[in-house]
Amino acid sequence: MSNPVKSTPCELCLSRKFSMFSDLAEEHLCTISDSKNFISHKKGQILYYENTKPLGVFCVNSGVVKIFKTASNGKEQIIRLAKKGDFVGYTSLIGEEAYTTSATIVEDASICFVPKEVFLKVLAEDNNFHRRLTQALCQDMGVMENKLTDATQKSIRERLALALLKLGDGYGVDGGDKQRLDIALTREEIAGIVGTATETVIRLLSEFKKDKLIDLQGKKIILLDRKGLARLSDFYG
Partner DNA sequence: AAAGTTCAGTGACTTTAGTCATGTATTTTA
Partner DNA sequence: TAAAATACATGACTAAAGTCACTGAACTTT
Binding site for DNA (CB under 7 A): 73, 155-157, 186-188, 195-200, 202-203, 205-206, 216, 218-219
* Least distance CB 220 / a copy of itself (angstroms): 25
Length of the chain measured in residues: 237
Beta carbons within 10 angstroms of residue 188's beta carbon: 13
Q: Which of 139, 170, 168 lies closest to 64 in space, CA to CA?
A: 170
Give dist(CA 153, CA 162) in Å, integer: 13
Looking at the Cβ atoms of 12 and 236, the one nearer to a copy of itself is 236
Looking at the Cβ atoms of 144 and 216, the one nearer to a copy of itself is 144
* Least distance CB 81 / DNA (angstroms): 16
**Amino acid identity at 4:** P
Looking at the Cβ atoms of 56 and 195, the one nearer to DNA is 195
Residues that bind a copy of itself (CB under 8 A): 69, 71-73, 75, 77, 79, 90-92, 94-97, 100-101, 124, 127, 130-131, 133-135, 137-142, 144-154, 194-196, 234-236
* Least distance CB 233 / a copy of itself (angstroms): 9
- What stretch of H or E contains 82? strand 76-82
* Least distance CB 79 / a copy of itself (angstroms): 5
- DSSP per residue, 41-66: E-TT-EEE-TTSPP-EEEEEEEEEEE
Q: Is 87 helix (H, G, I), strand (E, B) or coil?
A: strand
Q: How far is CA 28 from each of CA 35, 61, 97, 155, rounded to the nearest angstrom?
A: 11, 19, 25, 47
Q: Which does 142 bind (CB under 5 to 8 A by kind): DNA, a copy of itself, none?
A: a copy of itself
Looking at the Cβ atoms of 144 and 173, the one nearer to a copy of itself is 144
Q: Which does 165 bind (CB under 5 to 8 A by kind): a copy of itself, DNA, none?
A: none
Going edge to edge, which strands form the sheet with 179-181?
172-173, 179-181, 220-223, 214-217
